């Protein structure tokens, strides 16, 4: 979400009229769930997706019309295949889409900048879109939880009444950064994949040539470090993901020992089962418990028979998607595939 908001903020700061289209409600079989977003400008889709296929095609066309007309709208789509109605998509459900026109006139840029600044400070907050298109509000999580509306429904997004207006509200929280310990071939394959999936990556290595920004144009940051002194330079949050892909077992052991002291909810280490066993024994000798070591994903990634760095990167990315989805409360087993 932060990448989408950054692109939207850039559009507004450049004075570009933009429609933010997002699904507010869904029923039945649908390609994407509540909270799917898409940015549309005069020339078409800019970023994001609400599901592909005919739904997205029609939504983009309509959003372009609204950009020209400079107005917002709330519309329901029947995805069915019945004669004379529906969009002819096999999934056959129904979705409500809010088309929210923005040009900065109602202070949207300031609200988005406030939201992004809150994320940089690791704060959770709620962002509210007035469905009549009259503005955006931002509330920190603590302020939101004091409102009666916060007690009415559970979930990360909802339609609610507030001060006489109807809003679509969604929680926007610190999702966690991905720290990659090691900047070799695997990290070089993994960072662009994770960037495309809206993970912010920080790459660390003790070799200067492997933290060259030219190798990682999609990384949020690269850092030259001493793996034995990570405690002195890093402040890890519980929601962060620690991915250990260094060049050898000694660096792995140093990075994993640091990771286990942080309380991060995800630690994954690449390597063969033999190397995993060696590192585990070394860490046990340092006093780490079996329970601590069992919490580490080692070997890292989902088992898909991967061998090459590119294949292993996909298996790691899939595991991080799985972990993130569990944290944000997405449905288990749900696969909102793009319909084309």
Q: Spell out the domain ranges in the chain.
A: 1-174, 178-328
Q: What is the CATH number of domain 178-328?
A: 3.40.50.720
Predicted local distance difference test score (pLDDT) of residue 339: 39
Q: Which residues, at least 6 apart from 18, have a Cβ–Cβ distance to it below 8 Å?
A: 8, 11, 12, 39, 40, 41, 46, 67, 101, 102, 103
Contact criterion met (CB below 8 Å) for 315 and 245: no
**137, two tokens:** 């509000």
Q: Is the pLDDT higher at 126 or at 324?
A: 324
Predicted pLDDT of residue 221:
94
How high is the pLDDT of residue 340? 36
Per-residue pLDDT tens digits for 220-241: 899 999 999 999 999 998 889 9
Helix/strand/coil for 43: coil
- Local confidence band at 336 (pLDDT 50, 70, 90 cut-offs): very low
Distance CA 282, CA 274 (A): 13
Q: What percentage of the chain has pLDDT greater than the value 90?
A: 42
What does the pLDDT look like over 15-45, one tens digit per residue?
889 999 988 877 766 656 777 889 999 999 9
Tokens found for residue 96: 């409500």
Residue 259 has pLDDT above 90, yes or no: yes
Computed over every residue of the chain, the mean pLDDT equals: 83
């Amino acid at each position: 979400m932060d990448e989408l908001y950054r692109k939207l903020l850039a559009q507004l700061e450049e004075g570009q009229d933009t429609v933010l289209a997002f699904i507010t409600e869904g029923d039945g079989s649908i390609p994407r769930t509540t909270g799917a977003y898409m940015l549309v400008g005069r020339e078409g889709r800019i970023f994001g997706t609400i599901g592909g296929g005919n739904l997205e095609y029609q939504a983009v066309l309509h959003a372009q019309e609204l950009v020209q007309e400079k107005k917002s709208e709330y519309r329901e789509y029947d995805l069915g295949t019945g004669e004379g109605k529906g969009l002819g998509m096999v999934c056959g459900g129904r979705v409500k889409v809010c088309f929210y026109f923005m040009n900065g006139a109602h202070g949207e840029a300031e609200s988005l900048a406030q939201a992004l600044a809150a994320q940089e400070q690791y704060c959770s907050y709620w962002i509210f879109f007035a469905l009549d298109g009259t503005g955006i509000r931002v509330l920190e999580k603590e302020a939101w939880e004091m409102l009666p509306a916060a007690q009415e429904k559970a979930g990360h997004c909802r339609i609610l009444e507030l001060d006489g207006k109807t809003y679509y509200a969604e929680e926007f929280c610190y999702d966690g950064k991905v720290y990659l310990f090691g900047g070799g071939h695997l990290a070089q394959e993994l960072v662009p994949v994770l960037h495309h999936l809206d993970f912010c990556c920080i790459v660390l290595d003790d070799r200067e040539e492997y933290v060259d920004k030219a190798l990682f144009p999609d990384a949020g940051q690269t850092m030259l470090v001493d793996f034995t002194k990570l405690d002195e330079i890093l402040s890890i949050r519980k929601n962060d993901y620690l991915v250990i892909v260094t060049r050898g077992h000694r660096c792995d052991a140093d990075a994993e020992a640091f990771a286990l002291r942080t309380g991060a909810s995800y630690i994954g280490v690449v390597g063969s089962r033999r190397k995993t066993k060696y590192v585990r024994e070394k860490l046990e000798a340092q006093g780490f418990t079996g329970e601590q070591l069992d919490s580490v994903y080692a070997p890292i990634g989902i088992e898909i028979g991967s061998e090459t760095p590119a294949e292993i990167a996909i298996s790691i990315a899939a595991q991080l998607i799985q972990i993130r989805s569990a944290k944000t409360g997405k449905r288990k087993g749900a696969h909102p595939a793009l319909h084309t």
